[in-house]
Each structure stands twice: as structure tokens, then as C-alpha cells.
Amino acid sequence: MDLSTAMWTAAVLGAAAVYWFMWVMGSAEVKGKRAMDLTTGFIGRDQVQEKHRQVWSFFVRSKEDIAAASDEDKMPSIIETYYNLSFHFSPSLPGRSHREATRIHEERAADLITARPGQWIVDVGCGVGGPMRTIAARSGADIVSITISEYQVARAREYNCKVGLDGRCEVVCGNFLEMPFLKASFDGAYSIEATCCAPRLEDVYREVFRVLKPGALYVSYEWVTTALYRPDDPRHVETIRGAETGGALATLRAQHELAAIAHQVGFEVVEERDLALPPAEPWWTRLKISRFAYWRNHLLVTILAALRIAPKGIVDVHEMLCQTAAHMRYGGEIGIFTPCT
């Protein structure tokens, strides 16, 4: 066998090995369990490591220092980065795939605000617009969405065009603490795991209240600590702090605080419940990953980074996300954290 043939053979075998290692073995490991998606294409290759450093240095500080920094407008830039590392959860439903459960979870928001054709609905913190498209299709309403990330605006508009909803779904770039909409502009509003990123929840709730017509309904899915959380338990504190860091949250609110904050800005609370409780199956089981899968992925991203196929810093990002998943999973197992209130 000549050198050229040997090189091509090695390349083909190598590609086949990577395919088997990542997709055949990987799909068997995570089938039905995947609950987090990571996108790094929006960050320049030379920026991944620096973005990770900025985020990590921000969240290793005390909560008092983080709160002070938020007032100086440092928090939105951190959140913009993390909005593109998109975390999204939904309750697990018996006999339903994760995709189906997610669709039902999003459609529930449309039903709760009684969205219907002819109405204008605002999506507060839309990401790349998955819920927006689901709710538009479900309700027939027109959706105006806002996100702080220019990358997500572009992606959401692209996806809207692909599914033929660009005529009923618009996306604008802006801060949901200062939305560029007139008072009493919308017939309904929703936010799905977005307002938990606000430094002060009352600020975003007050802004949503401003843009809603009198009597309009608003539903929000929030990340919160439950009544089982004990701030005097070091393991509880470590777990919640890990979830906060991975989610770019200055602090997780307690479940019992939400209604009081909503009342404070003028809302009447119609219903409040944790959608992750039975009959929903444990949402956190999707975050389980074996040690084999962890080291397989760690080895792959390390090799890709060394070969400069993946950007510098990607190994740190992978490690951070694995730690975050572990904290969230444990928080779900012992019942001190829920992303579905």
C-alpha cells in the first residue's frame, strides 16, 4: 500500500471512528435525556475564552458585589452572552417525547393567556423564537418578540421565514427592562425562562404591565428555589449557586416571592403552580450523563481545541456546562430547584 492510499485509509477510518464515538455511542447515551443546547457560532473564535473568563470572574464574586454591578449596567452584557448558551426546560410527560413535551409546555402558555387570531402578543425574552413559533401556530395571534442578543434576532427571523411565519412573528433587539413599545400595546404577554435573568424581577414585571392593555393576561415560566431550600445547608447553597452561575442569574428567587412581586407592580395573580410536579415525570433525568459520556465529550473538545478546529476556551465552556447540569440535576432530585413555575 503506497503512502497516499494509507493516508486516505487512515482518514476514512478516523472519520468513521469519530462518527461511532460521538453519534452512535452518544445517541445511545443521551436519547430522551437532552435538555440543554449550546451554540457558540455567534461568538468569534478568538472571543470564546475571553467571554468565559468575563462571565466566570463576574459570578465568583459575592452576591452583594454582583447586585452593585448590575446597577452599573454590567449585567446585560453578561446575559447577552448567556442568552446564546441557550438553556431551556420543560416538564417530562408520561408517554411523550421531549420534543412533544416541550411543544405542549409552550402551547400551554398560549392557552393560559387565551391568545387568538387578531391579537398582538409580546414574547418577553424570546431567544431564537422556538416558543414564539409554537404559540403563533397554536393561537393564530401575531407575536412581537424581544431579545437582547442581535445574534438571536437574526436567527429567529431566519427560522420564522423557513416555517412561513415571518408575516406574523416579528423580532426586535432590545432590553426587556426598557421595551421600545407604547403603553397598553398588547393583548397578552408571556416569558419562558427569561425574566429570571432580570437583576430585579419587579422591574421587568412592571415593564410588562406597562405594555399590556387593561385586563390582558401574562404568563411567565420562572426558575426558582422551592420551600425545601435551606440557606443554612452548605450543599443547598452550593447547588443553587451553581445553577445561578450556569444560568447567568444574579440570584434565584424563592417560589413564594413571585406572587408578591407581581402584586407589587399591579398584576392580579390568577394562578400559580409548579408544572414540574406530578403527574409530570422528573424533568432533571434528562441531565444525567455517564462518566464515559463526560470523558468522551471532554476528550473530543480537547482534541478539537488543540487542533484549532474549535475555538480556545471551548474546553472551559464544556466543563462549566457539565458542572451546571450536575448542580441542576441534584437540585431537581432533592426538590430545592424547579425551572417550571
pLDDT of res. 178 = 95
pLDDT of res. 39 = 32
∠ CA(238), CA(236), CA(273), 5° rounding? 120
Buried b (16+ CB within 10 A) or exposed e, 68-107: ebbeeeebbebbbbbbbbbbbbbbbbeebebeebbbebbb
Which pTM does this prediction carry?
0.76
Task: Yes or no: say if 119 and 187 are a contact pair by the CB < 8 Å rule.
Answer: yes
Mean pLDDT of 314-334: 87
- Laid out side by side, the sheet with 253-254 consists of 253-254, 224-225, 337-338
- Laid out side by side, the sheet with 120-124 consists of 169-173, 142-147, 120-124, 186-192, 212-221
Higher pLDDT, 309 or 271: 271
Cell 448590575 locates to 70
Q: How far is CA 64 from the centre of its chain?
A: 24
pLDDT of res. 17 = 45
pLDDT of res. 61 = 52
* Ordered DSSP codes for 254-302: ETTHHHHHHHHHT--------TTSTTSBPGGGGG---HHHHHHHHHHHH
pLDDT of res. 236 = 97
Task: Yes or no: say if 241 and 231 are a contact pair by the CB < 8 Å rule.
Answer: no
pLDDT of res. 93 = 87
Higher pLDDT, 134 or 56: 134
pLDDT of res. 97 = 87
Share of the chain above pLDDT 70, in %: 74
Task: Yes or no: say if 111 and 177 are a contact pair by the CB < 8 Å rule.
Answer: no
For residues 44 and 317, what is the distance between their CA atoms, to the nearest angstrom? Answer: 14
All three cell numbers of 143, joined, read 407575536
pLDDT of res. 153 = 94
